[in-house]
Structure 1
């Protein structure tokens, strides 16, 4: 599904300080805490992360961040779609948008971290060409961390 097929859908860049993005990130962290407990690593947001905010009819329902790590390498951060907006293919739209953004920044490889209880996320990433990769800092000693990467 593409963004132009969903009426009222808007993708735009957003600052990490934008209230809508802060609210989505808090909802994501609460969902992760419910799955894994409060002892999961809390990774702060690097100032170089650029975010894409997904809105439906003006209501923020999803987001994804892209952090440049090193020349050619980027990392997906805070990929999230609100539960009420799931099942419409919005995560695929966000993933395509962030991959396009990465290419425009001359990034040739993307990596990400997710968890074993996030079955929908695992399916999304593996169905879109992300393959398991060894854990990277700060996740290398976290049993609830699974890392993936994709060559663009």
Structure 2
């Protein structure tokens, strides 16, 4: 468990080089799974990122984008492949939910893909339930949308 003891979570800007490297790696991994026909969604300037470091090395991130009053969206949740299996995604999810509550967000939504079984298990295990697809995912057969009330 020494790995978990060495974890640091800290806020990071969309322009942070570590965030850019991690989100680029995430998009490359998704392109390898789904091909080039996935919707390309840029990083919105209002996204608040949380950077996850282990022993000072950036290994994961998650973004929170306010959508409208009370509603936020989880964006670019990612843990590098070599750091998976240690529960780091659960730490990121708990942290982004805490940040959302702090900002007065009472409902979170997210989009993930049909081939991302680990993500589907994580989200459903933590109370996220299927919801209707929202733009730009409403016509994407490989997209699944989920939401959770935080109140």
The corresponding residue for 2:125 is 127
The corresponding residue for 2:96 is 98
The corresponding residue for 2:7 is 9
Instruction: State the Cα distance separating 1:138 from its structure 2 match.
Output: 0.5
Instruction: State the Cα distance separating 1:7 from its structure 2 match.
Output: 2.2
The corresponding residue for 1:28 is 26
The corresponding residue for 1:109 is 107
- Alignment TM-score, normalising by the size of structure 2: 0.97
Q: Which runs of 5+ in 2 are unaligned?
A: none
> In the TM superposition, what whole-angstrom CA distance separates every residue of 1:69-114 from its partner, at most 9, and x where no partner exists?
0010000000000000000000000000000000000000000000
Task: Provide the secondary structure at the position in 2 that maps to 1:117.
Answer: coil
Alpha-carbon distance in structure 1 between the residues aligned to 2:37 and 2:45: 24
The corresponding residue for 1:82 is 80
The corresponding residue for 1:141 is 139
Alpha-carbon distance in structure 2 between the residues aligned to 1:32 and 1:51: 19
RMSD between aligned residues: 1.4
1:39 aligns with 2:37: yes
Indicate which of 53, 71, 74 corresponds to 1:73. Answer: 71
